[in-house]
Amino acid sequence: MNGVAEPSSEHKGSSIDPAALPAGHKVLEYRIDRTLGGGGFGITYLAQDINLELPVAIKEYFPGELALRSANLSVCARTSDGEKHFTDGLERFLEEARALAAFRHPHIVRVLRYFRENGTAYIVMEYESGDPLKRWLARQPSLSQKALLRIIYPLMDGLEAVHKLRFLHRDIKPDNIYIRGDGSPVLLDFGAARRFSGARDMTNIVSPGFAPFEQYHSRGNQGPWTDVYSLGAVLYWLTTGVKPVESTARVQSDVMPRALQLADTGVFGEGLLRAIDWALTPDEKLRPQSVAEMRNALVAAENVHNDTTVPAGHERVGTPSAPSGGVLAFVNHAQSISGNSADKARKNVLGTVMVLTLVGYSRQTVDHQVVLKERFKELMTKVLKGVPEDSRIVVDTSDGAATCFLGDPEEALQSAMLLRSLLLQKYGQMLSVRIGMHLGPIRIIFDVNHRANVVGDGINVAQRIVAFSHPNQIVVSRAYYDVISRITDNAIGMFSALGPHLDEHLRSHEIYAVLDAQSRPAQAAVQRSSEFENTASFAALASLTPEMVADIEAELARNIGPLAKVLVNKAVPRTVSAQGLRDMLGVSIPDPTARELFLRPKSHKTQPVSGVRSDFASLSRPHADASQPISSKSGPISSPHFSAAQLTILERALSQAIGPLAKTILRKEVLRHTSLETLRQALAAQVDRAADREKFLAATLKLP
């Protein structure tokens, strides 16, 4: 069932079956748009439900070796000898459909209907975009216990629902787990699913490394513990970066290293890794017998690790307009206010305000307005799930919503882009919004029922510039653009200047449009010259001290509030001097007088230190012997799996691609990998630009 998720652009069209139905062809009330992919037993299409005007994914039974398509586009067996195999496979295909149709769970692929037509059968599924778990993982800078459990808990909930109907999935592996656009996981491909009964043989369909030994023979003792093993294998792969040894090789003599030995206990916790090893016990009688047993082990390990993760799918859903006390604490702390009362929090702070208005909302009937608002709120809930509740305030408006982000301003941009993507994929033009964003001063006020509202220039400007956007377009103010362009690595090419616009109050706003990913101009490859190989490093020139940074952060917080800490943390790695830090941060202060005082303080402890010339001199000397281990303030990076020479070369190559963060990333990844090739690939995944990634891989291809 891996056709329910949109393939990435580099894979589109790579697996189109020449026997697939053509675009525009209708099957009952479904119109084929294009082929999403194909496998040994079926072809999956993106289609439109003509009645509901919604996108769906349709899987057609079409075993390539047994079937052919006739001139009228119907399907039949190639030969009379293969007709029985074709018919038997068709029944199994429909059995899969019946099994899936019985499952109603948010983390199990949802079947809308199934039917026979054109001499074959079709399964209609809800269409969702997403990334395979492998691709999603490659894009993550790191994986914590909290992030891991946010993926695993929902999958366990869905799997438990499958087991309650006495079905086994029998093919849980990374390829069959997708991560939706909102970060939630979904379990796909129930082609191997079967009812479990001691009196029935089961076909021995296996995925090496992820299937337990009992699944290798049809009379094996298969039950919920079988899927628990596969889920444990996925966890093993996620935490260690290594695919588990095939279970058939572990029965007589189990030589597979334990997760507790390979993974980082400081990141994942000893208890969680022990639970993974328990799930991977070769003897099915000695491993967890149910999903509930496995979940209990993970929850216990989570508590011991003192991680505050709430199992995904069980989060507390608060009222959007009533923020938790964490919002007050956030504002109070940043403003140096004692106490947590609402009255004391009524001060101006700097926030990023995102205003969304539903296109054509006022022209709809009341009943249709209710439907539109429900769909809109459902998507907003998904989009904001990844943003901490104590750093956002959502205010309902007559024709949409306004969200104030008190933390990282990038979260606002990511949320807006995700919402736009989800709207286009799920509803097309049926549900369109205009999105406007501004970074400016706001004040949080509360009514007698302690419901929060946001007032001030920050929300006023956002509400005015949203009128300049087209349907499903994101426009931002100059103030937001100035800040985001200084703290975001890939801001170049993300925005298009639209120039000044006058609002109804004759106030001029210089605005920028956020471009779609497909329409952004390709960035020219940066040419590196050997002329600069021995120039001073970024760290060597830095004159900032922690005391200077703390002073600047405190001064900035007095002007803009809780956003100061976030902006300082993002700006520090980008500058080498205190004045440079002030120049980068000054654009975030709305008041011109306060901004000038911040940029040109009468006296401060931010003069550069001496010794820069000596740093240049030391860097102009030839490189140290590559056989020496990498050193840092916290000691050399060492590993029993890699030599010092290999680590040195890897660090140098990575630093040329991403800069000073190379050492930190290498230090983390070394703990996760035992294979040189997997380490190289993990480091390459940290490089954003394709050209730099290729240079890194080429430079590290032949390591000593």
pLDDT tens per residue across span 371-380: 888 888 888 8
Provide the pLDDT for residue 327.
Answer: 54
Q: 170 and 288 share a domain?
A: yes
More confident residue, 477 or 581: 477
Question: Is the confidence at residue 113, as pLDDT, over 80?
Answer: yes
Is 589 part of a structural domain of the chain? Answer: yes
Q: 113 and 245 share a domain?
A: no
Q: What is the CATH number of the domain that holds 85?
A: 3.30.200.20
* Rounded-to-integer distance, Cα 588 and Cα 577, Å: 18
Going edge to edge, which strands form the sheet with 42-49?
Answer: 26-27, 30-38, 42-49, 54-61, 120-126, 111-117
Give the list of residues 6+ apart from residue 617 with CB closer than 8 angstroms, or none: none
Q: What is the CATH number of the domain that holds 239?
A: 1.10.510.10
- Domain finish residue from 615, 633, 651: 615
Q: 203 and 270 share a domain?
A: yes
**First-to-last C-alpha distance (Å) of the chain:** 43
The answer, as to whether pTM is greater than 0.75, is no
pLDDT tens per residue across span 129-186: 778 898 888 888 788 898 999 999 999 998 988 888 788 888 899 988 989 877 889 8
Provide the pLDDT for residue 289.
Answer: 93
Lowest mean pLDDT among 279-293, 403-417, 418-432, 510-524: 510-524
Q: 163 and 256 share a domain?
A: yes
In 72-144, where does DSSP find H-type helix? Answer: 83-102, 133-138
Q: 114 and 170 share a domain?
A: no
Residue that has been written with the tokens 């993970």 in this structure: 298
Q: What is the CATH number of the domain that holds 502?
A: 3.30.70.1230
Q: 446 and 336 share a domain?
A: yes
pLDDT tens per residue across span 176-223: 898 987 788 988 776 666 666 554 455 556 788 898 988 887 677 888
Is 293 part of a structural domain of the chain? Answer: yes
Domain count of the chain? 5
Provide the pLDDT for residue 162.
Answer: 86
Q: 340 and 266 share a domain?
A: no
Spatial contact of 633 and 539, defined as CB atoms under 8 Å apart: no
* pLDDT band for position 438 (cuts 50, 70, 90): very high
Q: Could you write out the DSSP letters of every residue in 433-444?
A: EEEEEEEEEEEE
Is 442 part of a structural domain of the chain? Answer: yes
The neighbour count for residue 280, using CB atoms within 10 Å, is: 25
Spatial contact of 637 and 558, defined as CB atoms under 8 Å apart: no
Is 265 part of a structural domain of the chain? Answer: yes
- Domain finish residue from 493, 519, 545: 519
Question: Is the confidence at residue 474, as pLDDT, over 90?
Answer: yes
Burial class (CB in 10 A: 0-12, 13-18, 19+), 621: exposed
Q: 410 and 501 share a domain?
A: yes
The fraction of the chain above a pLDDT of 90, given in percent, is: 16
Q: Could you write out the DSSP letters of every residue in 8-51?
A: PTTTTTTT--TTSPPTT-EETTEEEEEEEEE-SSEEEEEEEETT
Provide the pLDDT for residue 668.
Answer: 76
Q: 373 and 398 share a domain?
A: yes
Q: 393 and 497 share a domain?
A: yes
Q: 278 and 355 share a domain?
A: no
What is residue 605's three-state secondary structure?
coil
Is 9 part of a structural domain of the chain? Answer: no
Lowest mean pLDDT among 244-258, 429-443, 481-495, 525-539: 525-539
Query: What are the distances in angstroms from CA 336 to CA 332, 349, 602?
Result: 6, 12, 23
Is 469 part of a structural domain of the chain? Answer: yes
Query: What are the distances in angstroms from CA 234 to CA 131, 271, 274, 596, 621?
Result: 16, 17, 14, 55, 48
| DSSP H or E stretch at residue 658 | helix 644-658
Q: 155 and 102 share a domain?
A: no
Is 1 part of a structural domain of the chain? Answer: no
* pLDDT band for position 633 (cuts 50, 70, 90): very low
Is 120 part of a structural domain of the chain? Answer: yes
Question: Is the confidence at residue 659, as pLDDT, over 60?
Answer: yes
Average pLDDT over residues 220-236: 92
The whole domain housing 635 covers 623-699
**Angle formed at CA 319 by CA 314 and CA 323, multiple of 5 degrees:** 100
pLDDT tens per residue across span 302-353: 766 543 333 333 333 333 333 445 555 555 444 433 334 444 444 567 889 9
Compute the mean pLDDT over every residue in the chain, rounded to the nearest whole number.
76
